[in-house]
Amino acid sequence: LYSFFSFLQQRSPASTSGDEVNLGPSANPHARPTDFDFLAVIGKGTFGKVLLAKLKADNKFYAIKVLQKKVILKKKEQKNIMAERNVLLKSLTHPFLVGLHYSFQTPEKLYFVLDYVNGGELFFHLQRERCFSDAIGYLHSLNIVYRDLKPENILLDAQGHVVLTDFGLCKEGIEAESTTSTFCGTPEYLAPEVLRKQPYDRTVDWWCLGAVLYEMIYSLPPFYSRDISEMYDGILHKPLPLRPGKSEAVCSLLVGLLQKDQNRRLGAIADFLEIKNHVFFLPINWDDLYHKRITPPYNPNVVSGLVLLSGTHFIHRFYHPVWMQLKLKPQGELSV
């Protein structure tokens, strides 16, 4: 689709044997935890936490994902963690994917030093935006299926441009005619073929895109129910509920993306090119979009000189330590 894609230099493969987790050679062999000032906990997950940090050498801010090796091994998630690392290494050149700057490790922990995207999660904004498909198309061009598109995995930068993050469920090596069959994803956004435990291909990402767009328009995912069995039944068997008042172009896009038959789904033949050429996206200049020359319709209100931590907390770039100004997590949680 674009001629700008470049890859990082070839590195030795990461180790994922049953009794160890090894990142392989670091992107920066001298990177280590003591190179950073760790300022605040900005996220928590199953395997560890995400910390806002400042690199001492240049005072730049980063989001550092710190993962506990023993938890990864206990849950047998080595392959998913290494898949995320591999995808991050390939994705650094795209403006709508979070970039990996360094990866390193200690005997107990793994560290991914990522872009700090300070506009918050789309989950908290849910405004109309039109460029998730470009990032998904880029991953497909690398033979990667994302498999977990949802508002929580879409961040906004300071200007309101979207940035896709969290590649733990990505599947590499999925070419145009390839399929996979792992049951994974988030219940509200699972495609019918995944629920049926059938082999699926890249079009699973276009279903997820349709589900996210549907939620942005109607405030809830399609077929949503607190009863998961009822929701799954809707995904598998019920017609797509489209309330009146939306444009024909929007409805056509949702119907195409949320087609239960993956072979008839929008994107099944020409992948991203079909999405790009849909009437809904005709006003978009894709070159301007890629180069961020289009002003996003929503600004996350990141104040000049401040870094957004959450919906209510800000950090001043020139004050340290920041926990003196904010009601942040206790310092004990900043251990690295």
Between CA 146 and CA 172 the distance in angstroms is 9
Q: Which of 99, 92, 105, 85 is nearest to 13 (CA)?
A: 85
Is the bond preceding residue 13 a cis peptide, omega within 30 degrees?
no
Entry field: residues in the chain = 336
Which residue type does 275 have? I
Show the tokens assigned to 12: 């030795």
CA distances from 52 to 38, 44, 112, 335 (A): 6, 12, 12, 12
> Do 51 and 105 meet the contact criterion of CB atoms below 8 Å apart?
no
Q: Does the annotation count 148 as an active-site position? A: yes
* Spatial CA neighbour of 221 closest among 200, 240, 249: 240
Single-letter amino acid, residue 271: D
Spatial distance between the Cα atoms of 325 and 320, rounded to a whole number of angstroms: 9
DSSP string, 46-68: SSEEEEEEEETTT--EEEEEEEE
Which one of 19, 37, 58, 148 is the catalytic residue?
Answer: 148
Residues annotated as catalytic (active site), given as ranges: 148
